[in-house]
Structure 1
Amino acid sequence: MIEAIWIDEAVTELRPDFKVLVIGAYGLRNGPSDDRSRGWLAGAAAEAVGTDHEKIVAWQDAYRAFGAKPQRTRPSVDALVRRMPPPEINLVVDAYNAVSIRHALPIGGEDLAHYEGTARLVRANGDEPFDAIEKGEAVIDHPEIGEVVWRDDRGVTCRRWNWRQCVRTRITEETVDALFLLERLAPMSLEELAAAGDELTGLLREIDPGVRVESRLVGPGA
């Protein structure tokens, strides 16, 4: 799965410094949040940076580059560091949220059982379906033309680079095989990106020592 993931040139033209560390985790046994995952979140919250940190400002600038207003639809890590204490979701989501907060790094998590085809980061045509929940009701939305989106063969899996994930591919307590997207812009170094990936892998193995993990760096020059 992860070998086929790609980024469209129209995206890298916006931010040539963009790279994504892709991690596939197979055979997970997820579960509800517990004292262990609460500890991960609390430890990360104690190290959280402010929303004016250079790594978060870089994402705000990236959003403006494709016409989004980051004050209205915030990059995921920007929104996350504003929510303290962090939300408790489930073990796996708590793990990647803790790593996201600690490193000021957007991280997406996807349930591969609900994926269709290859993940790719593209600029939207505007007619791609995006399934969401609005006011408690299931709706089908669409991205704006030129919006940076993650998608598969069925539709958009995450809008505005990393702003909002679709309902279909969210990680739940029943997730067995998962895809994680650790999204880097300068000034984050590739060494820190790799360290964040190692940290996430370590937490996944705490959740389930039998999980099988593979990773790949995707982006210009990777």
Structure 2
Amino acid sequence: METSTLLVNASYVDPAIFELRPDYRALLLTVDGLVPGASNDASEALLHRAEASARLALQEQKVEALPHVAAWRAAYQDFGAKPNRTRNSLEALLRRGATGLPRVNRLTDIYNAISVLYQIPLGGEDLSKYSGPPRLMRATGEEPFDTTANGEAVVEYPEPGEVIWCDDDGVTCRRWNWRQGRRTQLRDETSSALFILDALDPVSTEALKAAAEELATHLTGLGPDITISDHLINKATLT
């Protein structure tokens, strides 16, 4: 726990991100002691809640018109991404949620469900695969991104100015919260995880914390010796 907490407490959001979106907040949650396991009744029930929530949200408006989704589409446009081509993770899940969210394993199922229920982008990473602390910054274009294309492992590079999460070895997630890399992705054997909860207005900091609290509540059931810590980053933490 101590190593994970120190790593995440050293996480960093570059001031250029707050110049782009002063309303941005990130809540990082570290979880140690996870016991891997397949989807179960508890994760299935949570997914059903999330799917019902998605259907309700989309009854009267299209997904791109939802205020929380629209905020991220605007943010993508601000750094040059095309939101119709590269959908943020929240929008992608909501589009699937109305007809059925994926079933992966209980860890992934839980964080996908919380993302939909609170309408926030939420990424899960294997913290043991990190090299140095997580950082959110605008790319130079030289940071390597370990991913797949047509079923083959490839290394790509972000566009200069693109918003990326990265560590000392390269990109961990491109376009803020669009696509995670292979190196740090959650695996069936993951026992130490990092969750990144993203917020833009109109999501309040209180709502962001509530999402993290419910996520933590569900994660505590995934092992007898779970330890959890959190770290909030906003514009005020830079001063």
TM-score by length of 2: 0.91
Amino acid paired to 1:7: V
Aligned residue pairs, count: 222
In structure 2, the residue corresponding to 1:13 is in which secondary structure?
Answer: helix
Q: Does 2:179 match 1:164?
A: yes
In structure 2, the residue corresponding to 1:57 is in which secondary structure?
Answer: helix
Could you tell which deviates more after superposition, 83-92 or 196-205? Answer: 83-92
Report the aligned-residue RMSD: 1.0
Q: Does 2:92 match 1:79?
A: yes
Q: Does 2:75 match 1:69?
A: no
Q: Which residue of 1 aligns with 2:73?
A: 60
Q: What is the Cα deviation at residue 33 of structure 1? A: 1.4
**What are the Cα deviations for residues 137-196 of structure 1, in whole angstroms up to 9, with x where unaligned?**
111111000000000000000000000000111111200111110001000011111100
Q: Which residue of 1 aligns with 2:22?
A: 16
Q: Which residue of 1 aligns with 2:137?
A: 122
Q: Which residue of 1 aligns with 2:162?
A: 147
Q: Which residue of 2 aligns with 1:6?
A: 12
User: How far, CA to CA, are the matches of 1:34 and 1:3 in structure 2?
Assistant: 32
Q: What is the Cα deviation at residue 40 of structure 1? A: 0.9
In structure 1, the residue corresponding to 2:235 is in which secondary structure?
Answer: coil
Q: Which residue of 2 aligns with 1:113?
A: 128
Q: Which residue of 2 aligns with 1:40?
A: 46
Q: What is the Cα deviation at residue 89 of structure 1? A: 1.3
Q: Which residue of 1 aligns with 2:3?
A: none
User: How far, CA to CA, are the matches of 2:52 and 2:132 in structure 1?
Assistant: 39
**Contact 1:90–1:172 (CA<8 Å) still a contact in 2?**
no
User: How far, CA to CA, are the matches of 2:45 and 2:188 in structure 1?
Assistant: 19
Amino acid paired to 2:139: A
TM-score by length of 1: 0.97
**Contact 1:44–1:98 (CA<8 Å) still a contact in 2?**
yes
Amino acid paired to 1:203: H
In structure 1, the residue corresponding to 2:96 is in which secondary structure?
Answer: coil
Q: What is the Cα deviation at residue 83 of structure 1? A: 1.0
Decide which structure has greater helix share. 2
Q: Which residue of 1 aligns with 2:227?
A: 212
* Residue ranges of structure 1 left out of the alignment (5+ in a row): none
In structure 2, the residue corresponding to 1:59 is in which secondary structure?
Answer: helix
Could you tell which deviates more after superposition, 188-197 or 48-57? Answer: 48-57
Q: Which residue of 2 aligns with 1:180?
A: 195
Q: What is the Cα deviation at residue 209 of structure 1? A: 4.1
